[in-house]
Amino acid sequence: MVKYIIKRILYSILILFFVSLLIYFLVRCLPTDYIDNKFAAKLEDGSITVEQLQQFKEIYGIADNSFWGIISGYFGWLGNALRGDLGTSFQYEQPVTQVIGDYMWISFWIALVAMILQFVIAIPLGVMSATHQYGPLDYTVTVFTMIGISLPSFFLATLLIKVFATELGWLPGSGMVGSQQTATGLARFGDIVVHCILPVATLVIINVGSLMRYSRTNTLEVLNADYIRTARAKGLSERTVIYKHVFRNTMIPIVTMLAGILPSLFGGAMITEEVFSLEGIGQKAYNALKNGDIPFIMAYNMFLAILTVIGTLLSDLAYAVVDPRVKLNK
């Protein structure tokens, strides 16, 4: 086990190196950069010259976009990152670690509530759909699953805002608190909860379908296993067969989904946060990407890459724990 973990960590370091190199190249190859976006209007009206613009780029370290210039810039960033300095955000003018630390928790709590609801809704419905295969419940679940999978998040979010915020006026359609909200304590917490209902509902609806189908497929595979037929032949009740044998073994493949849980919790929902004007880390990353904020983009993406690597390793270890047939000895 220890040998396996060490081997995976070494592979992960190599993967993270190539991921960071690729991301840096892609960011530097964007059509415009932060300086171009910031001074576009001033350059157009003649307030600054092209030479002055180039001087600003040199100050920010993005003047040379040749191959070797990008390589030099990357290893400069990598050297600082290895020393714990991820740089200062061009746009937010703060250390990127501080910006990520300040705004990721908003995204985290919204994603955590949405994820819990997804599992609570999807797994039982997936199991019930499989045990009633080709019945009314199965077809109903399938229809709603396909609707959830097919709807783009921005369309669903806009639809929910129009219906529940604009037309009915039941729920707020943007922000985390009311514009006139001065309450504190429990009243403020309640206001935040109300503002988060539509974003959470959006995340649940667009993600619950795939998890439901995954649970249904796994359950059908387990139901056809020999030991399930043996359990029924012994006279066990259908309820015991389903919830003691089928359900527990259905959860084994779902453990592999742990690999994506960590980055999804801390990475934010970029499109959903933008539509609902939530100041989470996803919205900050979206704005940084639009403006070519290289330090923030690099720190954010490497943060997600590290979480993905950790999640994958934890997923493999958890899989070996829940399924004794899996041996991590290579």
Indicate which CATH number applies to the domain containing 135. Answer: 1.10.3720.10
Q: How far apart are CA 191 and CA 194, in angstroms?
A: 5
pLDDT higher for 161 or 148?
Answer: 161
Instruction: Average the pLDDT over each of 9-13, 158-162, 178-182, 211-215 and give the range with the smallest value.
Output: 178-182
Mean pLDDT rounded to a whole number for the chain: 82
Residue 277 near residue 262 (C-beta atoms within 8 A)? no
Quick check: 180 pLDDT over 70?
no
Range of the domain at 125: 104-322
pLDDT of residue 184: 67
Q: Are residues 313 and 164 in the same domain?
A: yes
Q: Using the 3D structure, point to which of 52, 82, 112 is the last residue of a domain.
A: 82
Task: For residue range 26-74, list pLDDT tens digits in order.
Answer: 888 877 778 877 877 777 777 788 888 788 888 888 888 788 888 988 9
Instruction: Average the pLDDT over each of 52-61, 175-184, 230-239, 307-316 and give the range with the smallest value.
Output: 175-184
Q: Is 45 part of any domain?
A: yes
Q: Are residues 172 and 264 in the same domain?
A: yes
Residue 228 near residue 245 (C-beta atoms within 8 A)? yes
Q: Is 92 part of any domain?
A: no
Q: Are residues 65 and 163 in the same domain?
A: no
Residue 115 near residue 288 (C-beta atoms within 8 A)? no
Angle ∠(39,42,45) on CA atoms, nearest 5 = 150
pLDDT higher for 24 or 188?
Answer: 24
Number of domains making up the chain: 2
Quick check: 133 pLDDT over 70?
yes
pLDDT of residue 322: 62
Kindly tell me the number of DSSP H helices and DSSP E strands found in the chain.
16, 0
Q: Are residues 141 and 263 in the same domain?
A: yes
C-alpha distance from residue 193 to each of 18, 173, 183 (Å): 40, 12, 14
Q: Is 306 part of any domain?
A: yes
Q: Using the 3D structure, point to which of 82, 117, 136 is the last residue of a domain.
A: 82
Average pLDDT of the residues in 122-128: 84
Q: Are residues 123 and 251 in the same domain?
A: yes
Average pLDDT of the residues in 281-304: 87
Q: Is 295 part of any domain?
A: yes
Dihedral of CA atoms 156, 162, 163, 168 in degrees, nearest 10, equals: 160
Q: Are residues 127 and 73 in the same domain?
A: no
Average pLDDT of the residues in 140-152: 83
Q: Using the 3D structure, point to which of 31, 47, 82 is the last residue of a domain.
A: 82
Quick check: 297 pLDDT over 60?
yes
Q: Are residues 12 and 141 in the same domain?
A: no
Q: Are residues 161 and 74 in the same domain?
A: no
Q: How many CB atoms lie within 10 A of CB 215?
A: 25
pLDDT of residue 18: 92
Task: Point out which residues pair with 88 in neighbouring strands.
Answer: 95
pLDDT of residue 324: 58
pLDDT of residue 323: 61
Quick check: 253 pLDDT over 70?
no
Which residues fall within 8 angstroms of residue 80, CB to CB, at 6 or more apart? 86, 87
Determine phi and psi for 95, rounding to 5 degrees. -55, 135
- Quote the longest CA-to-CA distance of the chain: 87
pLDDT band at residue 21, thresholds of 50, 70 and 90? very high
Q: Are residues 210 and 299 in the same domain?
A: yes
Instruction: For residue 192, give both structure tokens.
Output: 């935040």
Place of tokens 């190249």: 25
DSSP secondary structure string, 138-154?
HHHHHHHHHHHHHS-HH
Q: Are residues 30 and 110 in the same domain?
A: no
Nearest CA to 102 out of 85, 89, 116 is that of 89
pLDDT of residue 22: 92
Q: Are residues 75 and 207 in the same domain?
A: no
Q: Is 245 part of any domain?
A: yes
Instruction: Average the pLDDT over each of 185-199, 243-257, 276-290 and give the range with the smallest value.
Output: 243-257
Q: Are residues 151 and 288 in the same domain?
A: yes
